[in-house]
Structure 1
Amino acid sequence: MSKVSYYTPEGLKKLKAELDHLRDVERPKASQAIAEARDKGDLSENAEYDAAKEAQGLLEMKISKMEETVANARIIDESQLDTSKVLVLSTVKLKNQANKMEMKYTLVAESEANLKQGKISVNSPIGKGLLGKSVGDVAEVQVPNGVMKLEILDISRN
């Protein structure tokens, strides 16, 4: 069963560029490595050939998975999203009730997550805990060291 993934236009463009690179650059390199290893003689005792074939198999598997992801990708129309609830692409300002620290995260698709940029996956424990909540709600998120209580201060779109 294929899983639908939601992307921003820039995220999908990046994914397609990576897929094109794998197809157009990495695939020919893998074929070339196999050809060079094959030219070195007896295939039954040629570790270089075996390694090149295995690398090609892994590359083809990665390409196949990425093709499936691209085929099932949907672009999110940010203008149609409701800002009263936390959804994908919501930028959420939170307050940790335990230490009173404030933080700001944008919920994105798993492949676009980047904590340094403040982008967390909607599939992460915090992302799942925030989905559907409104301003003023307190999300109780199960994290490895217990339950984290996060108060939602603001929801916006960037």
Structure 2
Amino acid sequence: MKAIVQRVASASVTVNNEIISEIGKGICVLVGLSRDDSVADVDYLVRKLINMRIFEGDDGKKWNLSVKDKGYEVLCCSQFTLYALMKGNKPDFHQSMAPDKSRELYQLFVDKMKQNYKPDLVKEGRFQTFCHVNIVNDGPVTICLESPKAKSSTDEIKDNDS
């Protein structure tokens, strides 16, 4: 599972010229699911995203507080193209999870983000829909995250969360 995380001043998702979701200060998360991803990958990414220390504290200390610490918003957008491999000049998406299975796992990801944070602060785009994502990057700060590959979905993923 991959995520491109951008610290944003604001972000929104537009479908057919209508804003369907928008946030102020916080993070915009573009989420890609590979055909091998599991619930363990979802749990890992949710924990990392909510606790990622990319915001400045009131004391001016940089890289000190998380979206959770600050009470900021999160905008999640599914993006199967994160697992594209280039075959010549054309992207190949065989590493991406199939749409029916990915819909279920992506929804679990969004649900767990809401369960582990404040549900009203977690927004989302529209799954499997052509949309425009407007991001006003703050910094700019862009971080790529990828879940470690577990041997099975029941394996515990160990990580240094400091």
- TM-score category of the 2 structures, normalised to the smaller one: under 0.3
TM-score (norm 1): 0.21
Higher strand share: 2
Q: Which structure has the bigger radius of gyration?
A: 1
Q: Which has the higher contact order (CA 8 A, sep 6+)?
A: 2
TM-score (norm 2): 0.21
